[in-house]
Chains A and B, each alone.
Chain A
Amino acid sequence: GDSVTQMEGPVTLSEEAFLTINCTYTATGYPSLFWYVQYPGEGLQLLLKATKADDKGSNKGFEATYRKETTSFHLEKGSVQVSDSAVYFCALTLNSGYSTLTFGKGTMLLVSP
């Protein structure tokens, strides 16, 4: 079945460090790929998405590129802030289905001043 694998956390960084959170996927069709973020005490928020190979999604300084050849969608940010501390979820949905999301387990990011 379809699945998403993320690097385990927590990822602990100092402010202004470079961030990479790895995500790979397995899908039977042609998925759209997403990163969601969950801040402490809040609901899931869509961070960025990419709907086809080689697309780059970007938002709030975060970006991720849909790599079909490596089935990956790694999240990156050049300079993290304390306010970026949250849990990040990689997810996919099949374009041929009802758009139900399949999520990874999530990666916690902790940024210290």
Chain B
Amino acid sequence: DTGVSQNPRHKITKRGQNVTFRCDPISEHNRLYWYRQTLGQGPEFLTYFQNEAQLEKSRLLSDRFSAERPKGSFSTLEIQRTEQGDSAMYLCASSPKTRPDTQYFGPGTRLTVL
């Protein structure tokens, strides 16, 4: 396994700008998760994909957030009109069909909104 990769690793943007993050899960993992982690807190679930279908979204995922997994492989998370409160680490995880409860996490994308 090459592991879950995320790009970019760091993003600094100005309030009001749009940003997009990418996650490449472990090959053949059909489940993909996005979490958000703020300083001093544990990760909080944002959304979940099984293959290309987005099956669950947290109430944390406001209408400024959108996620896609168009071909059931990589996923993108877009935040429109960023706010300072969006500053956080955005984590992606994937898990295989045979062991859905074992999630492998990427290194995260750290977003700073100025």
Question: Are chains A and B native binding partners rather than an unrelated pairing?
Answer: yes
By the criterion of a CB under 8 Å from any partner CB, how many residues of chain A are at the interface? 23
Contact of A43 among B31, B50, B102, B105 (CB under 8 A): B105
- Tell me if B95 counts as interface (CB < 8 A to partner A): yes
- Tell me if A66 counts as interface (CB < 8 A to partner B): no
A28 contacts across to B, CB distance below 8 A: none
In Å, the complex CA distance between A93 and B93 comes to 14
By the criterion of a CB under 8 Å from any partner CB, how many residues of chain B are at the interface? 26
**Cross-chain contact A100 with B101 (CB below 8 angstroms):** no
In Å, the complex CA distance between A101 and B92 comes to 12
**Cross-chain contact A44 with B45 (CB below 8 angstroms):** no
- What's the nearest-Cβ distance from chain B to residue A97, in Å? 8
B108 contacts across to A, CB distance below 8 A: 43
- What's the nearest-Cβ distance from chain B to residue A37, in Å? 11
The interface of chain A, by Cβ under 8 A from chain B, is 4, 32, 36, 42-46, 49, 51, 89, 91, 93, 95, 98-106
Could you show 15 A-B contacts with beta carbons less than 8 Å apart?
A: A43-B91, A43-B105, A43-B107, A44-B105, A46-B102, A46-B103, A89-B43, A98-B48, A98-B56, A99-B100, A99-B103, A100-B45, A100-B48, A101-B103, A106-B40
